[in-house]
Homo-oligomer: A and B are copies of this chain.
Amino acid sequence: MRFKILGADRETRARCGEMETPHGKVKTPLFMPVATQATVKTLTPKQLREIGTEAIICNAYHLALRPGEEVVKGMGGLHHFMGWSRTIVTDSGGFQIFSRNGLSRVSDEGVEFCSPFTGERVFLSPERVMEIQSSLGSDIAMPLDHCVTHPCPREEARQAMLRTHRWTRRCVEAGLKPAPAQALFGIVQGGVYKDLRLESAWGLVELGLEGYAVGGLSVGEGRELMLEVLEYTAEALPWERPRYLMGVGTPEDILDAVALGVDMFDCVLPTRNGRNGTVFTRKGRLKILNSRHKEDPRPLEEGCQCYTCSNFSRAYLRHLFLSGEILAMTLLSLHNLHFFQHLMRDVQEAILTGNFGQFRKTFPTSQEEEREGRKEMALWTS
């Protein structure tokens, strides 16, 4: 997989690049909407394209359990199955298995867990996870990783990191990287321990992978610690390959991570928030159910070019949400994803024109304040 750096910021490690996958060119820094079950919740591929989405991320583990990767393969692969003709990344499912399945049993062979759909015991080996992703035919595949939650004792984090490394090495050495055109990334683990993170990064880099993900962050360690770990981890990864911070995050998290040299992001936040009525704007988040929107003729965000903001008032969207109408979820998800895609385009441009520092500085900190929920009233009554 080709990755070309088009420009870099002079003050930070931020860079703007271009990845070329079998399904097109993708500009970085990149935000990928989450399509765990082969759909970005509530939205059609057409709607995703219209807001400028270039890549999405699906989950190999979920799709192997349902509908089964052989079904997807039989339909011509994941792109054809879900009607998405651009880049698809598939996550292995390690995070999902370890974080949501207390009953998983892990050994060097792989991991055994209960299917959340049928309750049956399922066994996944690192080799099997490669096989699944090969059948799905994604553009970028992730190896099975052993994730730990936070807080995690050092020795446990070390064992999980070493196991992740052994698993990845096994796949690479057995030539088990997915289909020829697919790229295989490595996933750096190691909890919040600097020496473990560096050992993990160096070990994976030795394997010569096509990109490097940072896993096991944003799992409860808090924002400051996350950025601290990310800083030394990203620095240990090669400049010339894409870096992917998994499962992150808020607009502010993304801006800070971009400044540390991260190129790729994915997060359920814009769609999940859309479904529960929380809207991203550059002036902060807003809750559409708030009664102050009852007769508000303004769009969610003034000046926003998305379909939702071009056609509907806050009053209408609040009415839909209050009435339990599914269209509310669709329209809010659409706006939120547009917000993230628009943010990434602005970030790319800011890096290329040497204005990233300025952009970041002037990006409203109200985001943070609203996230903490402390100044919401003050923000929205002013």
Contact = CB atoms under 8 A, between A and B. Distances in A.
Interface of A: 37-39, 41-46, 66-67, 71, 74-76, 81-83, 294-295, 297, 307, 311-313, 315-316, 318-320, 322-323, 325-327, 329-331
Contacts of A75: 295, 297, 313, 315-316
Contact of A37 (B294, B312, B325): B325
The 3 tightest CB contacts between A and B, nearest first, are: A83-B311, A67-B319, A37-B323
A314 to B, nearest CB: 10
A44 B316 contact: no
B326 A329 contact: yes
Given A38-B316, A45-B311, A319-B66, A71 B326 contact: no
B83 A41 contact: no
B83 A316 contact: yes
Given A44-B330, A44-B331, A315 B39 contact: no
B71 A295 contact: yes
Given A75-B295, A75-B313, A83-B312, 19 more contacts: A37-B323, A41-B326, A41-B327, A42-B326, A44-B327, A44-B331, A66-B322, A67-B294, A67-B318, A67-B319, A67-B322, A71-B295, A74-B315, A75-B315, A81-B315, A81-B316, A82-B316, A326-B326, A330-B330
B41 A71 contact: no
Contacts of A294: 67, 71
Contact of A81 (B43, B46, B82, B313): B313
A331 B46 CA distance: 12
B67 A315 contact: yes
Given A67-B315, A81-B316, A312-B83, A74 B41 contact: no
Nearest to A83: B311
Contacts of A82: 312, 316
A296 to B, nearest CB: 9
A318 B320 CA distance: 27
Number of copies: 2
Nearest to A36: B323
Contacts of A74: 295, 297, 315
A275 to B, nearest CB: 8
A170 B75 CA distance: 62
A320 B312 CA distance: 28
A3 to B, nearest CB: 30
A55 to B, nearest CB: 18
Given A67-B319, A294-B67, A327 B43 contact: yes
14 contacts: A37-B320, A38-B316, A38-B319, A42-B327, A43-B327, A66-B319, A67-B318, A67-B319, A67-B322, A74-B315, A75-B297, A75-B315, A83-B312, A83-B316
Contacts of A37: 319-320, 323, 325
A81 B107 CA distance: 58
Contacts of A297: 74-76
B320 A39 contact: yes
Contacts of A327: 39, 41-44
Nearest to A320: B39
Contacts of A67: 294, 315, 318-319, 322
A39 B325 contact: yes
Q: Which of A39, A82, A297, A327 has the most CB of B within 10 A?
A: A327
A325 B81 contact: no
Contacts of A44: 307, 327, 330-331
A311 B66 CA distance: 20
A330 B294 CA distance: 26
A313 B74 CA distance: 11
